[in-house]
Amino acid sequence: MPELPEVETIRRGAVHSLIGQKIVLVSILLHKSFIGDPRAVEGCVITNVGRRGKLLILHTSGVNSILIHLKMTGQLISVRKGQMTKLPDKSTKVIFAFESEDKLFFNDYRTFGYVQVFESANLSEHPFLKKVGIEPLDSSFTFEFFEKLVLRFNKMNVKSFLLDQTKIAGLGNIYTDEALFYAHILPMRQIGSLDTIELKDLYLNIKEVLNKGVNLGGSSKTSYVNLHGEKGRFLSQAAVYGRGGMSCIVCGQPIQKSKCAGRGTHYCVHCQK
């Protein structure tokens, strides 16, 4: 499910609701959803909440951190003591119970996601963190950096490049299609064919679209909800994603939908070149 804006929205909710919570019990309802020893974080307090790309990181008072990747359909939902809830339900895979009697539910009906206990001192050795690329909303992501990065991958098509987490971290199918639309670039274009003006346009729109996503609380196509169980509002504003066959908001021509980089890809043949 979630791309950078969705995970960032959850992170912000977690900063508010989870910091200071002491974990008293971790219940695992599906073994494959949990990697490592749950007892290693019981008794620990959540001290901070970070994010790298689409990976959420709960720092604790102990020697371990808790890494959470939601993949396609993961949800992380916090329920206060005494609050009405339908949880756990059949998609619930992991439950954290806190000393406060608040609870945290990890739901994931397709079971691609995971919760992982990992030694904080060795986070840089984690298979995902070891390879993940630059944070596009960080000040270190300058146009100069982007231009140099892009130059090394001339043969790739631009959509595959943007989806590759080892290059830029956090873009997924929705925000990639949106950024390419606003940059007037067709997704199947070869990186090497982009001129400096197009690269600059793409660079600016990557940041623009991600910021807009964060400001609207992310995208909810099917399952995404924030930490409080609320849907995101980005998709109602999407220019191309999920609008195949509908008219382009700029020129009125029908939005195309086809496959690129193995993913459903939305674009306007009139506005994008």
One-letter amino acid identity for 41? V
Return the residue of 60, 78, 107, 220 that touches DNA, per CB under 7 A: 220
Q: Which stretch binds DNA (CB under 7 A): 12-20, 67-75, 98-106, 196-204?
A: 67-75
One-letter amino acid identity for 265? T
Instruction: Name the residues annotated as catalytic.
Output: 2-3, 54, 263
Is the Cα dihedral 219, 223, 227, 231 positive or negative? positive
Q: Which stretch binds DNA (CB under 7 A): 8-16, 49-57, 140-148, 181-189?
A: 49-57
Q: Is 264 in the site for DNA (CB under 7 A)?
A: yes
Give whichever of 62 and 217 is closer to DNA, judged by the CB atom: 217
Query: If 0-12 CB within 10 Å is exposed, 13-18 middle and 19+ buried, where does residue 169 land?
Result: buried
Q: Which stretch binds DNA (CB under 7 A): 153-161, 179-187, 207-215, 247-255?
A: 153-161
Give whichever of 100 and 237 is closer to DNA, judged by the CB atom: 237
Site residues (CB under 7 A) for DNA? 1-3, 6, 53-55, 69, 71-72, 90-91, 109-112, 127-128, 131, 153, 155-157, 160, 163, 165, 172-174, 219-224, 262-264
